Amino acid sequence: MVGYAFMGAAHSQGWRTVGRVFDLPLEPRLAAVCGRDGSAVRAAADRLGWAAAETDWRVLIERDDVDLVDICTPGDSHAEIAIAALEAGKHVLCEKPLANSVEEAEAMTEVAQQAQQRGLVAMTGFNYRRVPAIALARRMVADGRIGTLRHVRVSYLQDWLVDPAFPLTWRLQKPYAGSGALGDLGAHAVDLAQYVAGEPVAGVSALTETFVRERPVLEGASVGLSAAGGGALGQVTVDDAALFTGRFASGALASFEATRFATGRKNALKVELNGERGSLYFELERLNELYFHDQTEPGVSAGFRRILVTEPEHPYLEAWWPPGHGLGYEHTFAHQARDLVHAIAEGTAPAPSFADGLQVQRVLAAVEESAAKNSVYTPVPVTSA
């Protein structure tokens, strides 16, 4: 694994757990984790359960005891590491968004498709597909339970950037992150919409905004600086929020909202689909529940009903706890690892593939292009009566 911070810890949890819960055709062994700071990565290896530590990802992918490379780094390094790993004969799992640009994602997808001919697997890490309730929603849509799709609504709201004193991290700098809330949260929103609907987004119209344009610089960071209040400030070069509408290939309409400025919202991902025969609704903060309305029922008794997604017949639940004993966020990474191990062992195409990641990247790029065209506006002065 390359990278060991928040997402690296989540992936490590999945790899440590998956073989203890599911019957797998192959046994994952945590061979080595890589990071630039030698002492920090060695401490992370001990804490997260990795057998060894490396400080150069190029050395990591040449190791004979490494068959799979799991990329948990900022987006600016995804393409270089993934392409090198595939060319070195390794399977690859790469965190979302797949890359920082369509061009990088296209190059990654081309190499992945070539590598597939040599039996290699390349998967994009959209872990929310592995929430059992989301997987059940996809199954119900595919089974025709809501009929012809009319509307999809997705919002992903967080508030961790509200404080203007929050420092200028890599997630707020375009060269490293590619985009802001759009790539961080909007990528999940777009992938979930396309996954559950079973079809791609074909067009968008968008607005984006950066509310806090300068932030305090972390010590030792090399960014463009300005002096303010005795401290060094650096420019925020990504969006804080993105709002866009879309149309699916079938003509169904969609709306998306992604922000890290929704005060009081910690990890509020919500998905709703409306069809001619019914509707489905899910929110991440009620992760074990899916709400379903059957439009074919008589109006006197119809309405949204809660499905508690904890039955052994529900996706992924056969290996876990008795009905009613819910799962959490961390379990999605064990499910992701399970699906990837099966794809490797069985030689099947993984989902989501790099091609799926590229499709999301194209939608994100279209959002940025549309927002740039829609960015000119004249604020209306506020006057008191």
The total number of structural domains in the chain stands at 2
Any domain includes 251: yes
Residues 26 and 99 in one domain: yes
Q: What pLDDT does residue 225 have?
A: 46
Strand segments (E) across 159-288 = 201-209, 214-216, 225-228, 231-235, 241-248, 253-259, 268-275, 278-283
374 CB-side CA count, 13 A: 16
Q: What pLDDT does residue 219 have?
A: 73
CB of 325 within 8 A of CB of 310? yes
- What is the rounded (10 degree) CA torsion for 169, 237, 211, 97? -70
Residues 226 and 194 in one domain: yes
Judged by DSSP in three states, 9 sits in: helix
Judged by DSSP in three states, 366 sits in: helix
Domain end: 87, 106, 128, which one?
A: 128
Any domain includes 56: yes
CB of 136 within 8 A of CB of 309? yes
Tell me the pLDDT of the chain (385 aa) as tens digits.
Answer: 999 999 999 999 999 999 999 999 999 999 999 999 999 999 999 999 999 999 999 999 999 999 999 999 999 999 999 999 999 999 999 999 999 999 999 999 999 999 999 999 999 999 999 999 999 999 999 999 999 999 999 999 999 999 999 999 999 999 999 999 999 999 999 999 999 999 999 999 999 999 999 999 987 655 544 444 457 899 999 999 999 999 999 999 999 999 999 999 999 999 999 999 999 999 999 999 999 999 999 989 899 999 999 999 999 999 999 999 999 999 999 999 999 999 999 999 999 999 999 999 999 999 999 999 997 666 667 666 5
Q: What pLDDT does residue 220 have?
A: 62
Residues 92 and 231 in one domain: no
- In eight-state DSSP terms, residue 350 is P
CB of 280 within 8 A of CB of 195? no
Any domain includes 155: yes
Residues 6+ apart with CB under 8 A from 2: 33, 34, 35, 57, 60, 69, 70, 71, 72, 73, 77, 81
- Distance CA(347)–CA(123), nearest Å, equals 13
- Distance CA(143)–CA(149), nearest Å, equals 12
Q: What pLDDT does residue 377 have?
A: 63
Any domain includes 373: no
Domain end: 88, 107, 128, which one?
A: 128
Residue span of the structural domain in which 309 resides: 132-286+288-327
- Distance CA(340)–CA(342), nearest Å, equals 5
Any domain includes 332: no
**Residue range 158-172, pLDDT digits in tens:** 999 999 999 999 999
Q: What pLDDT does residue 289 have?
A: 98
Residues 40 and 139 in one domain: no
Q: What pLDDT does residue 375 have?
A: 78
- Distance CA(5)–CA(213), nearest Å, equals 26
Any domain includes 359: no
Any domain includes 121: yes
Any domain includes 358: no
Q: What pLDDT does residue 238 have?
A: 98
Q: 167: domain CATH number?
A: 3.30.360.10
Q: What pLDDT does residue 218 have?
A: 81
**9 exposure class (CB count in 10 Å sphere: 0-12, 13-18, 19+):** middle
- Distance CA(100)–CA(76), nearest Å, equals 6
Residues 185 and 70 in one domain: no
> Which amino acid type is present at position 312?
P
- Distance CA(257)–CA(90), nearest Å, equals 36
**Residue range 24-43, pLDDT digits in tens:** 999 999 999 999 999 999 99
Residues 51 and 183 in one domain: no
Enter the tokens of residue 297: 């029922």
Residues 273 and 323 in one domain: yes
Residues 142 and 273 in one domain: yes
Residues 266 and 166 in one domain: yes
Backbone angles phi, psi at 74, to 5 degrees: -55, 155
Residues 63 and 211 in one domain: no
Residues 158 and 303 in one domain: yes
Q: What pLDDT does residue 230 have?
A: 52
Domain end: 73, 107, 128, which one?
A: 128
Q: 39: domain CATH number?
A: 3.40.50.720
Distances (CA, A) of 53 to 6, 42, 69, 76: 17, 5, 14, 22
Residues 87 and 184 in one domain: no
